[in-house]
Each structure stands twice: as structure tokens, then as C-alpha cells.
Amino acid sequence: MKKGRYGIHGGQYIPETLMNAVTELEEAYEFYKKDPQFNAELTELLNEYAGRPSRLYFARRMTEDLGGAKIYLKREDLNHTGAHKINNVLGQILLAKKMGKTRVIAETGAGQHGVATATAAALMGMECEVFMGEEDTKRQALNVYRMRLLGAKVHAVTSGTATLKDAVSETMREWTRRIDDTHYVLGSCMGPHPFPEIVRDFQSVISREIREQLLEKEGRLPDAVLACVGGGSNAIGAFYHFIGDESVRLIGCEAAGRGVDTAETAATIATGKLGIFHGMKSYFCQDEYGQIAPVYSISAGLDYPGVGPEHAYLYDKGRAEYVAVTDDEAVDAFEYLSRTEGIIPAIESAHAVAYARKLAPEMGKDQIMVINISGRGDKDCAAIARYRGEDIHE
Amino acid sequence: MSRIQQAFQEKKAFIPFITCGDPDLETTEKLVYAMEEAGAALIELGIPFSDPTAEGPVIQEASLRALTGGVTTDKIFDMVKRIRQKTQIPLVFMTYANVVFSRGIGHFARQAAEAGIDGLILPDVPFEEKEEFDGPCREYGLDFISLIAPTSHERIRMIAEKASGFVYCVSSLGVTGTRSSITTDTGAMVRVVKETKNIPCAVGFGISTPEQASKIGATADGVIVGSAIVKLCGQYGRECVPHVAEYVKKMAAALEKQEQPSPDRSKCVN
């Protein structure tokens, strides 16, 4: 396979202005990923600051209730800042620092990646600016405040649909304006090479831990690993170390919004087609003329019209399955996990929980399923209350 | 000699950019004739894209207006066919990779060439990814235009070597849009290109005034202006044609002056 390619997917479809910057990043990453000092520093940060390893929790009540597979929850929601995003951010900011950068910029959808970036920037003494769709700043007002509290400047993006895709576009534009001192901390396993690889590597700590923890607890590998997919960073992190184990089903749960047969959906693999956008070749929701579709999901973090190139490749190869979960199903699962296990998942992660509720009863009691709980749901409480017709003030 | 080569033969080329379908395709067609009449040497026709990541607010908004107005790639091809029956001015499409890719690159290139288009500019396709697009373009006789940027440095030679038509020199960091001053030494960028290959160089991004055009034109073969014109289209809507024509006339004249300094002007300097 060509460098930076996943089958036919991936590549570097970006303006010439950015080419030397991504080449510089690629060279730095190739060097530091093999540097013992860098890896020791990163492990220290992940363990002492972010609180890794995250727990692999046996969900007894959920397992009993569904009456099928034994269910484990990978608790990425227990990480510092409340989601898996911190894994990637600590890696990238440490890398940026080694490269001599003094300023970081980032896009954010639900705000989790923005909060993680603002947090790590505060820790490392770097300047931080976050771009967030105006629509999302309303849906996730609490996270906007958290970022400001952490010293970051938050820009509300008003172009296009004013959601995650527009935040990515605007962060790319900002990067072309100021490159020398600035690193773009891309939050998902997408964009131009080397970002999909860097983000996947930093997130792959999730599957490395699941593997070790489950071997210790059960002495065997899981039969299925479930994770939600927007761009797909928590999913690729949860899948990566199982890709070679054909017996492990890898299931990505996309956001169907109001349904894959409606226009209000963000399920890229279910409804999109091959295209080129945001630096990569992959699947995108688009019209017959290649115009990117205005997608929709209740979850700001999954509300994106594309998917990372490695997921597109795993789908092509038939190695991973991708299913679509509606807003309704996700909200039900959000409430279900809260009541059944006392764990409030992010509405993004609730998409994986929703599919688990369908799949677990079909699996045998001797089988094991792992659901990646990519983030915690405090940020979503007001929006879910609104969805249920209740207006609460944060 | 191709129409693009001819555009750079006799004088410095003034190259305006307009977004097709802003405010409608009838106006776009009228603009093409009026701009040619006013001294444009080559015209860039933008096919609007929903998410133009290399554009500033002015062209972003124009793209949105055009798409909201219902313009499509099919309708733009039809317009180009009509234009080609009336004029031989070189025309290049500027759009984004997905607009071309979604149609099938070969299919797009063939239809564009048949309609009478001379070249294609895709700001999100750098040297490393160009083969996929360049091959089909060459097959149908379109020039796939290469861009170089202030950050290109050692990449310029590699890009210039494989360039065809003309080289688009990006004058500034950031996205399209007018700038009060341009600090990049575009003359030096052009020199490196010319050392590698004898190919015309046109400078764009940020240029809006006759003074800037004249200054940059001193060391380049052409000057590209987009946002300043698109702003007029946004401001005057269907009435924009005379305003744009007047502006193009002024800019083309400033470039010409640059080419042959008049005796009067040297007297002033003395």
C-alpha cells in the first residue's frame, strides 16, 4: 500500500500552502514514535495526568437484563476531561512541543476534543484556539465555558451548517494563515496523512488495554467490540489491536439521526459514497454533483459527513461492520445505561450501547462483548432533557 | 499554440475569477463577454463547492449564493458551450477535487474539454496527488494547473518541472480574499519557476488594487483577481456587469502600463 493510504482511501488532498507543514509533521512523528524518551514522557502523562489505564468494567446488570453475551464496558469516560479524546491530544501536544510549536488550534464538535486540547495546552503552557460550529456552541454551552476557563479562545463558526464539518474547514483555513508556530491538533482519525495514522496510534492504547485486561479477567479475546463512529477515533482505537484477530467482530455504530432513509442522517457508510474532502479520500455524504450534504445527528460529536479512511478500508475489506443507530435509539440507550448500571454515557457512546442492546441477546452466554464508552454524558443532560420535552437550566 | 499559451504572448495577462451562477448563469455569461471586452486575457470560472476550504468569506458566500440559486455542474457545462460559440478567450475551471471526482475524473475532463474549457485548477490537489487528475486532463487536452505557495520553498522546482499551462503562484498565506499589503517576494518565486521551466507564472490571492497589480506584474506574467470582483457581484447582483467591466479595465490598464513604462512616467520619476 502507498504511504498514507488505506487501500484506495486516505492521501493528502490539501492546499499546497500546507504541504511542507504536513511533511514536517510526518518526519517529526516518524522520529518521535520510536524515541524512548518521548514514549516515556507520554506514558507518564497518560497514567499520572489522564488516569490510565481506564477500567474494563463487567456490566453485570446489563448482562443479566439482556440475557445474552457477557458485557464489558471500556471506561474511557473515566479519563481526565471525560472522554477518549485526551489520549490523542496529549500525544499530539507533546509532539508539537518537541517540534518547537508554541500554539495549537483544534476543531471540536461536541466540545470534548476542544476541552481536551484546551486542557493539554494549559498543562504545557501553549496558546490554544478552538473552532466550534455555532450550532454546537449552543448544544454544548457547558463545554464552551470549560474551554474558556482553561484559557482557550473559542471561535463560533457560522459558515455552512455551523457544525463539525464547518469547524474542521475553518481550522484548516486558520492553519494556512499561520503555520510556523502552530500545530493543528486534529481530533479524529481523518484528514490528510499523517493525521489518520497519528490519531489511530495514540488512540490504540484503548484496544491494547482491552486485550490485556480481558486476557487477565477471562483468559480470552472478546467476540465483539462495539464503538460509535463519527470520524471514528475511539472506534479505531478500540479496534486496532484486534484487526489481526478474525474471530473478533468489530462493529462501528454510526449516527442515523432521524433514520438512514431520511435526509437528516449522519450515517456515512450507510448513505455516503466515495469522495475527496477534508484532505482525504473516503466515504462522504454528498449529492450527485459532489456537494457535501448537510448531515444531522442529535450527537454533535457524530454529526460529520465523512468517516476516517482506515474505517472506509476496514469496511471495504469486510473486516469491520458498520451499523446505523437513530437518535431515538441512542436516547433510549442513554437512559438505559444510566438506570441499569449507574453510568451516564456520552450521547455519542450511547449509539454503541443502543446497538449492544440489540446484539447481546442474539449472542450466546459464553460469548463476550466489549462496548467502548468513549465519554461521559454530563455534557448531554440538558439536550436529552430537551429531547424529552423538559427544559432544564444548566 | 494553446489558447492558454496565447493569453500570455503579447502582454501581461489580467486574469479575473468569477463564481459561476452568482447571482445566476445568465449574468455569469454576460460577465465573461464584458470582461474580455475590458481586457481580461484569461478567465477563471469557479464551479461552486459546498465547503470551499481554500476560500475566504467573500468567495464562500458567493458559492453559497450560487448553490442556493440552483446552479449545477451540468448547467455550467451548458453555459460554457454557449460561451464558446461566441469567443475564443481561454477559460479555466477552478473548483474542488470532489466536484470533479464525483463525476468521474475522465468523464469530467472529457465533457469540460468538449465544452471548450482549457484548463483545471483544484486548490485541494497538491503535487503528490495530481497524477490521478493530470492523466485524464492530458488525455483530453486540458492543462492541469499547478499551484505554488509562499511555503513551497524547495518544492517549487519539483512542481514547476511537471507544470503545464501556467503556474499559479499563491502570493500570501491563508485563504483567498483582499489584503492591504502583500509581503511575499513573489518575484523570487517566479524566478525559481523560470529557472526550472519556461512557463508563464500568474500571481493570485489578496490582490485588489491597480497599484498591487502593477507592482506584482513587474515580475510575473499575469495577475489573478478573485475576491475583489466577486465582491462586486455580491454587491450589485444582476446589475454587476458594468461595475465589473470598469474594474477589469482599470486593472488590465495598470498591468499594461507596467509592461511598457511610458516616457511621461519616467519624466515624473526624474
Q: Which residue of A has its CA nearest to B122?
A: A15
CB-nearest partner of B126 from A14, A177, A286: A14
DSSP state string for chain B = --HHHHHTTSSPEEEEEEETTSS-HHHHHHHHHHHHHTT-SSEEEE---SS-TT--HHHHHHHHHHHHTT--HHHHHHHHHHHHTT----EEEE--HHHHHTT-HHHHHHHHHHHT--EEE-TT--GGGTHHHHHHHHHTT-EE-EEE-TT-TTHHHHHHHT--S-EEEE-SSSSSS--S---S-HHHHHHHHHHH----EEEESS--SHHHHHHHHTTSSEEEE-HHHHHHHHHHGGGHHHHHHHHHHHHHHHHHHHHS--HHHHHHH-
- pLDDT, average across residues B179-187: 88
* Mean pLDDT in residue range B96-121: 98
A116 backbone dihedrals φ, ψ, rounded to 5°: -60, -40
Which cell is B164 given? 503545464
Q: Would residue A374 show up in a list of annotated catalytic residues for this protein?
A: yes
Strand runs labelled E in A123-265? 127-133, 153-157, 182-184, 224-229, 249-257
Which residues in chain B are contacts of A283 at CB distance < 8 A? none
Q: Do B151 and A18 make contact, defined as CB atoms within 8 angstroms? A: yes
CATH no. for residue B202?
3.20.20.70
Interface touch B155/A289, C-beta < 8 Å: no
Residue B259 has pLDDT above 60, yes or no: no
Is A209 annotated in the active site? no
How far is it, in rounded angstroms, from Cα A346 to Cα A377? 4
- What pTM does this model have? 0.95
- For residue B54, the enclosing domain spans 3-267
**Residue A363: all three cell numbers together:** 449472542
pLDDT at B270 over 60: no
pLDDT band at B258 (very low <50, low <70, confident <90, very high): low
How many structural domains compose chain B?
A: 1
Phi and psi angles of residue A286, each rounded to the nearest 5 degrees, phi first: -155, 165
Q: Could you confirm whether A197 is annotated as catalytic?
A: no
Nearest to A16 among B74, B97, B147 (CB): B147
pLDDT at B181: 84
pLDDT recorded at residue B183: 84
Chain B residues whose CB is inside 8 A of the A278 CB are 53
pLDDT computed for residue A141 by the predictor? 86
Choice among A54, A169, A233, A374 that is catalytic = A374
Interface of A with B (CB under 8 A): 11-21, 159-160, 165-166, 169, 172-173, 176-179, 273-279, 284, 286, 288-292
Q: Which residue of A has its CA nearest to B99?
A: A290
Provide the shortest C-alpha distance from residue A10 to chain B (in Å).
11
Q: Which residues of chain B does A178 touch, with a Cβ-Cβ cutoff of 8 Å?
A: 173
Digits of tens for pLDDT over chain A (394 positions)?
678 999 999 999 999 999 999 999 999 999 999 999 999 999 999 999 999 999 999 999 999 999 999 999 999 999 999 999 999 999 999 999 999 999 999 999 889 999 999 999 999 999 999 999 998 898 788 899 999 999 999 999 999 888 899 999 999 999 999 999 999 999 999 999 999 999 999 999 999 999 999 999 999 999 999 999 999 999 999 999 999 999 999 999 999 999 999 999 999 999 999 999 999 999 999 999 999 999 999 998 899 999 999 999 999 999 999 999 999 999 999 999 999 999 999 999 999 999 999 999 999 999 999 999 999 999 899 899 999 999 887 5
- Is the model's pLDDT at B263 over the cut of 90? no
What pLDDT, on the 0 to 100 scale, is given for residue B10? Answer: 86
